Amino acid sequence: MARRIQGPAQRWAPIPPTKNQIVGRRYIRILEEQLQQLRSHRAHGNRVVFYDHVIIAHLLAFFNPCLRGLRSIEDLFKHPSVRKRYAVPRLPKSTLADAQSLFDPHLVQPILDSLLRKANLRPQDSRLDEVTRRLVAVDGSFFTVAPRIAWALYNKSCRQGGPGKGHVRVHAQFDVRLGLPVHVSLTDGQASEAEQLRAALKKDCLYIMDRGFQQYALLHDILQSQSDFLVRLRKSARAQIQSVRPLCDADSAAGVVADQIVTVGWRNGQVAALPSLRRVDVRFIDRNGKTITLFLLTNRLDLPAWMIALIYQHRWQVELFFRWLKCAANFEHFFSESLEGMTLQVYVTLIGMLLIAIEIGAAPSKYDYAIFSAVVAGLTTLEEAQAVAAKRRAERARAAEWQKKYNARKAAQKNSR
């Protein structure tokens, strides 16, 4: 922002920002209580850099995509005005690298839990209100890292010096109603997705999973944790039909072609330690005109078949989250080569995402991230950014509604032929 200076030669001079306009400082105040709790954890042996300093440095890097490494963060905090504004000392590259590998990134989890409660987002699909349990979509995604990171090498040819790249896998549990992740962990590329979910199971959840999680022992553990599951079966999965349930018009409109009570077993013929389950077959036509049938297995016998199909459609939100992380949030480069440092960077990215969600009252899009990055950089005010973000969401909502009606008209025309 700038103001005009009156005189013979009118010129523009910057308007000094107020405390409320400095969103970076505003965000630090939001996190102040949790950051103070991290102060007791030493970040380095020189007793100058603390854990909260590391979080603040990463948070500023999240809102400034030009800060793509520890060297650029070091250069930023060489400026006395930046250090004074955020109460952070100098952060040499070597000190920050040591701090990232020494700290336990899971100490940040209370901050994420607090921000999730403050966000208090409304459900995105009111039809899901019939499901009383938390709907959690589960999946993992690969991120490429340098081949020199030995613990992250994905296959044996890489470990033996052959061509290839290193990979780490980010495992996410995504709350469908909130539109936000509620649990994230990071491992090497060969770690089992099922084991990561098993280690983080909670009660009163309905876990929505793709074919990679089709392990009957895992499904048994989910039931033992007092939660439910909805998993897509592989085509080779064995199931013995016990009974067939009738379909209603709503089921047929949702693409449901079969609703059955089944028993499943291991591939060697042994019966799994699972009760009678429900298999719902859903058929649809993809964008290429190919007919695809999904075989969905769940323990929920009370929900209508069309609701089962609807719930599984929302599993795609976790895929969109990974897309947002890689594309919209510019998460293309890790600042650390240690597992702890990489996990910390992912957690701080989630903190930044939640801070934006608190400001706009909705799950942030790439447009929200861009405009709030401009606010932190001092290019616009918070109020102006909120107005622009609200206008953009309204435009996207109208476009989505138009597309929905257009697709309905096209489907009606096709059925009438």
- The domain locations on the chain are 17-108+340-396, 224-314
Residue type, 9: A
Considering only residues 378 and 322, tell me which one the structure prediction assigns the higher pLDDT: 322
What integer pLDDT is reported at residue 385 of this predicted model? 87
Q: Greater confidence, 123 or 296? A: 296
Q: Report the percent of the chain where pLDDT is more than 90.
A: 27
Confidence of residue 22 (pLDDT cuts 50, 70, 90): very low
The runs of H, that is alpha helices, within 120-272 are 156-159, 193-199, 216-224, 249-253
Please say if the pLDDT value at position 44 is more than 70: no
Q: Rounded distance, CA 210 to CA 313, Å?
A: 11
Higher pLDDT, 337 or 172: 172
Enter the tokens of residue 150: 């030995």
**260 pLDDT above the threshold of 50:** yes
Is residue 301 scored above 60 in pLDDT? yes
Q: Which of 338-342, 374-378, 384-388, 399-403 has the lowest mean pLDDT?
A: 374-378
Closest CA to 197 of 140, 262, 158, 123: 140
Q: Are 65 and 373 in contact (CB under 8 A)?
A: yes
Over residues 65-94, the mean pLDDT reads 88
Q: How confident is the model at residue 48 (pLDDT cuts 50, 70, 90)?
A: confident
Query: What tokens does 341 get?
Result: 């440092």
Q: Could you give the C-alpha distances from 389 to 41, 99, 375, 400, in angstroms and in order?
A: 37, 36, 12, 16
**Which is it for the CA torsion 214, 218, 220, 223, positive or negative?**
negative
- Dihedral sign (CA 55, 56, 61, 62): positive
313-330: average pLDDT = 85
Residue 148 has which token pair? 């020199």
pLDDT at 125: 77
pLDDT at 94 over 80: yes
Burial state string for 91-117 with b = 16 or more CB within 10 A and e = fewer than 16: bbeebbbbbbebbebebbeebbebbbe
* CA atoms of 200 and 227, how far apart (whole Å): 12
Chain-centroid distance of CA 94 in Å reads: 30
Q: How far apart are CA 1 and CA 15, in angstroms?
A: 6
Question: What is the C-alpha end-to-end distance of the chain, expressed in Å?
Answer: 59
Model confidence pLDDT, tens digit, residues 193-215: 999 999 999 999 999 999 999 98
Least confident of 116-120, 129-133, 134-138: 116-120
pLDDT (average), residues 1-12:
46
For 297, phi then psi, to 5°, come to -115, 135
**Calpha distance 132→134 (Å, rounded):** 7
DSSP H helices, 175-277, are 193-199, 216-224, 249-253
In the predicted model, is pLDDT for residue 254 greater than 50? yes
Q: Measured between alpha carbons, how far is 216 from 279 in angstroms, rounded to an integer?
A: 14
* 333-362 residue pLDDT tens: 788 888 888 899 889 988 888 888 888 888
Q: Is the pLDDT of residue 45 over 60?
A: no
Burial class (CB in 10 A: 0-12, 13-18, 19+), 399: exposed
Range ranked top by mean pLDDT from 224-228, 282-286, 318-322: 224-228
Q: With bands split at pLDDT 50, 70 and 90, how would you rate the model's confidence at 14?
A: very low
Fill in the amino acid letter for 87: A
315 compared with 332, residue with greater pLDDT: 315
Q: How far, rounded to the nearest angstrom, does the alpha carbon of residue 351 sit from its chain's CA centroid?
A: 11
Reported pTM = 0.80
Neighbours of 308 (CB within 10 A): 23
Which residues, in sequence order, are CB contacts of 169 under 8 Å at separation 6+?
Answer: 140, 141, 142, 143, 186, 187, 188, 189, 191, 193
- Is 311 or 179 the better-scoring residue by pLDDT? 311
Q: Does the pLDDT of residue 161 top 70, yes or no?
A: no
Of residues 382 and 417, more confidently modeled: 382
